[in-house]
Amino acid sequence: MSGTCQHAKLCSIMLKEAYGDLAEKVAMCLFRLGNLTLQQIIFHTNLKLTKVQHVLRGLINFGIVEFELPENAKTGVKSTVPVYFLRKDNILFLQRYIRGVPVFIKKFGTEGEIMLDTLMKSGRDCASGVILVSSVRILRTQPDQNADAVLGQMKEKMQQLVQEGLIERVASREPGDKRPVPDTTAVYSKSKALPEVNMPLLASKITSENLSIKDASDTSVVWQVSRTGVSQLLRDEMFAEALTARIDNQAGNLVRCLLQLMSDSGDAMEEVSNIFHKPTIHSIVKMSYPGSPLEAHISEYLQVLEEDSSNLLSRVGDAAGGEYQVTLKAAILELTWSALEKIAQEQFGSKGARIFRTVRRHQFIGIDEVQNHAMLPAKEAKQIAYRLVGENFLQLKELKLGTSTEAGKTTTNYYFFVSLTQLVRMCLEKCYLAQYSASLRQNDIVEKFSHTIQKEHRLTSLYMTLKQQGAPQEQLEDIAGMLTLSEREDLQKVVTWRAQLNFSEYDIDSSILLFEIYIKVFQGKI
């Protein structure tokens, strides 16, 4: 993961918003200096031992910090002093998870989203704790439901989330463990089976309003939200939305089915999937979207995807009605190019995007050929092309083609080309900066109108309290009228601005996810 200035700014503001100033100070110390021991962290942060231990315990619980016992290169003996390091990718996951909430609700329902949110807020917890807290949250909003039925429903929902890879098992801990920092060097279990959960015990705790799970039998088996699973789900949704915009909703649903098949049959990040036969694809479509136009016209949609320029699906044989493979690497490359062309169009206009597209298609091309293929006047084509060079969207390569008629002189030509990896990294940094700026702007808006926001919260709380106590309507109207017209206008502005900024942050995170996937697939690291 990148450790640049823009990335550091974004991580800093996210840590401060999510975990507070002390956590941000410790985490950014690890960000800047790399792996450190506990004493080194205390020295560089100038914090007390107890505070650093408390912060590290919390950051490790939320997967932001991990530690290991380093091994001496010469003797091969492991040190007894743990070294702490920062998981930078898990910091950005905080924003990515928020963007995924609508997807979670659509796929797993409100109950699944509540369970994931409960586990995100606790960091790590046993199955009994997650099921109990999630059930209590549902019963508070729907008090007419039966507690036993809700508990059973939430247990089934957690099993589904584990099977789908959204929740994963992490390092075990023993009941009564008094260590200040949990031991993350333990072996991670790949099991997707929930341990035995004492449902009558949980039901009795709901009845007695005692949410302590110390006496539960599965406290040593700990679970957390899977960063990989959530990112994979959002990646699949990104591909589906891209094909929906390009073709229609049924094509997007078919992409979801194909990517689900790829995940179920092997590694979801393989460059090329296993071979799927048409009956297999038809069966999962029938199960996921029964009675839909996609089920009735599966052959036509498979042919459309096969011929589409997204390169997501390729036909490799005719056995059993057709053999297909998901060519993920080619699809990621094509989607990345599309995103970069969109950025070029927004920054340089349609003519700039046309020149960028021309250079991409021809790889190495001279300025004369650029203006001919882009169908632009020579002067305008040169201005836009060199502006693209100045912004690092295009690169120039000097080629000496041979001697001229005069002795001792050579003819030099300049050719434009696109350095894709360099461009992706540059745009990734711009995304970090844009997301940081959006978060900073939100904080500025909240700070500027903090007095009005706090006043509105106090009046709303007072209004609800008096209404529950049966206050007369005249008194309630007086409370509601304590906000002036200008204050109401300011609050409406705050709501509008924050909604726009939130949408921008989610959109930017989609680009970050795409560029990070591209770098991992084509470079093996970020």
User: In the structure encoding, which two tokens stand for residue 334, read together?
Assistant: 């094509």
Ranges under pLDDT 70 in the chain: 1-3, 73-74, 76, 172-191, 401-410, 524-526
Would you say the pTM of this structure is higher than 0.85? Answer: no
Sheet strands side by side (includes 167-169): 125-126, 222-225, 167-169
CA angle centred on 444, ends 441 and 450, rounded to 5°: 140
- 3-state percent breakdown (helix, strand, coil) of the chain, nearest 5: 65, 10, 25
Cα atoms in the 13 Å half-sphere on the side-chain side of 526: 23
Side chain identity at 18, as an amino acid letter?
A
Rg over alpha carbons for the chain, rounded to the nearest Å, is: 28
Beta strands (DSSP E) in 92-249 are 125-126, 167-169, 222-225
pLDDT number for residue 343: 92
Q: What is the pLDDT of residue 406?
A: 59
Amino acid occupying residue 224: Q
Identify any residues that bridge with 411 across adjacent strands, giving them in sequence order.
402
**Nearby residues of 347 by Cβ (< 8 Å), 6 or more positions away:** 391, 393
Residue 494 half-sphere exposure toward CB, CA atoms < 13 A: 19
Q: pLDDT tens-digit profile of 115-150?
A: 999 999 888 888 888 898 899 889 888 878 888 888
Burial class (CB in 10 A: 0-12, 13-18, 19+), 80: exposed
Q: 3-state secondary structure string, 415-475? A: EEECCHHHHHHHHHHHHHHHHHHHHHHHHHHHHHCHHHHHHHHHHHHHHHHHHHCCCCHHH
CA angle 124, 95, 443 (to 5 degrees): 115
Rounded-to-integer distance, Cα 505 and Cα 235, Å: 16
Which amino acid, residue 100? G
Q: How far is CA 454 from the centre of its chain?
A: 31
**Assigned token pair, 246:** 């390009």
Distance CA 291, CA 298 (A): 12
Residue 71 DSSP label: B
